[in-house]
Structure 1
């Protein structure tokens, strides 16, 4: 039995869609009603990282786990419960910034602690460390529809962002194939792109004018504080500054080696998601 957490999220829902016929799959979700119809053959159970009792039931009879956590402190109890339940292999979604000694923001430090917990608790583990998701561009959809504008801090800075569908395909292989235990897979797209270049792609594909505007850091801070706690906002701003300094402009061969094909491009991702930006 394979347990998938985060199945309603960006990567997790793609993982569920990609399982081959054969392995039994269980999904742990805080709100089972949000689980995609693509997961109909999977068993869906209610579970919450913040509820100490719920992971034990979800982990019963499970041999492998795809672990996605979004809150500081989520992993500790879950991983200890997984070890007690006899789980052998945990595939953990982390982030490429963990390997960057210059990244000392709150979010990256939290991810490093979670990786240490994983190594301590799981008999077998695999780490997936992607760069930023191409799907982060969906945060521009509302402003594109309303006024044809993209607002991006340090819009000329480059990032080897990655298609979440590629991350999911690697995750499924790590969960269902031999040879991934004890491995760290760093996952990037095929080329470094900037927000300015992404805006140009989103304009060219449907043939409409778009502009990319760059707020100053204080303006960005004000906007982000409407969505996130102050400490998280500062972590995001630190991450953006590291991108400006070139820390995220390095390609990795993880996806071509693991999947036997090139990593998906931003143009390809955008073409498949144009409907999200339509209107206005």
Structure 2
């Protein structure tokens, strides 16, 4: 944390956002920072680009307890994102949150936590995290999204260079969700009463296959996109370039569940809370077309 950092006085009930350089946290920050005082936690502030005048930046890693204590001073509500299943970051954050008087944690979890047949490493890790929060004595709200539509950005290099989408399970559906929809629910849970003790499963309005996603992207980009189905071994090799072996195994187990048609359920939670239909993949594709050109 920079030596000169100190929470500003005169701002009460501060909201702390974590994960603001990630897919959902960035969207939550865009929704909240223009209109209300917000503090963001980041390991690398140079990566931040946030609107709004009442934004504080606290530099800290979850493993730095003293820095977390300073960052959480004056915070009453926090948005918690963790992404490393090998680290006890949720318990680290909760220890500091309890010590500083945080009252409510809105946790980004995973849809599979609520599915009894899901038992991969990442799902078990998120189940453990949720249980830690339940036992913490703090108020909590759990957001459980299905896969992010933005995962399609992994295809951007091959679409730009070759006009090709390569994927496992080309004909297996997934009710993937627009990250902006997740962020909208997070923003409500952080700023409105009535969300404590609630679990919000979040999906898109329909299940789409990778082949259908490629077709939507082709229509938006007005160019042909070919699809090639990966074998399990090819997908594992591709993921191994980015993730450690235990995470690759978890991804393969998750993909196997999708192949069995276990990720097609459409949940009404987003519509029930907002009164709006969840955004479909074709809308996400149109909004992010430039990433593929």
Common fold, TM-score beyond 0.5?
yes
> Is 2:38 the counterpart of 1:2?
no
Alignment of 1:139-178 (within 5 A): 139-178=154-193
Structure 1 residue aligned with 2:205? 190
Which runs of 5 or more residues in structure 2 are unaligned? 1-13
Structure 2 residue aligned with 1:110? 125
Structure 2 counterpart SS, 1:53: helix
Structure 1 residue aligned with 2:29? 16
Structure 2 residue aligned with 1:234? 249
Q: CA RMSD in A?
A: 1.2
Contact 2:172 2:258 (C-alpha < 8 Å) held by counterparts: yes
Deviations 1:192-226 (A, max 9, x none): 00000000011111211101111110111111111
What is the CA distance between 1:21 and its match in structure 2? 5.9
User: Which stretch of the first structure deviates more once superposed, 17-26 or 142-151?
Assistant: 17-26
Q: Distance in 1 between matches of 2:183 and 2:217?
A: 24
Alignment of 1:40-189 (within 5 A): 41-72=54-85, 73-189=88-204
Structure 1 counterpart SS, 2:140: strand
User: Which stretch of the first structure deviates more once superposed, 180-189 or 18-27?
Assistant: 18-27
Structure 2 counterpart SS, 1:193: coil
Change (3 A) 1:35 1:202: same
| Equivalent of 2:46 in 33, 42, 51 | 33
Structure 1 counterpart SS, 2:39: strand
> Is 2:225 the counterpart of 1:210?
yes
Q: Distance in 1 between matches of 2:150 and 2:187?
A: 19
| Equivalent of 2:236 in 217, 221, 229 | 221
Contact 2:185 2:270 (C-alpha < 8 Å) held by counterparts: yes
Contact 2:63 2:89 (C-alpha < 8 Å) held by counterparts: yes
Q: Distance in 2 between matches of 1:13 and 1:20?
A: 10
What is the CA distance between 1:24 and its match in structure 2? 2.1
Which runs of 5 or more residues in structure 1 are unaligned? none
| Equivalent of 1:271 in 286, 289, 292 | 286
| TM-score normalized with structure 1 length | 0.97
Structure 2 residue aligned with 1:201? 216
Contact 2:164 2:228 (C-alpha < 8 Å) held by counterparts: yes
What is the CA distance between 1:51 and its match in structure 2? 2.2
Change (3 A) 1:39 1:97: farther
Tell me which stretches of 4 or more aligned residues in structure 1 moved more than 6 Å.
Answer: none
Q: Distance in 2 between matches of 1:78 and 1:155?
A: 39
Q: Distance in 1 between matches of 2:215 and 2:114?
A: 31
Structure 1 counterpart SS, 2:221: coil
Q: Distance in 2 between matches of 1:63 and 1:57?
A: 13
Structure 1 residue aligned with 2:11? none
What is the CA distance between 1:52 and its match in structure 2? 2.7
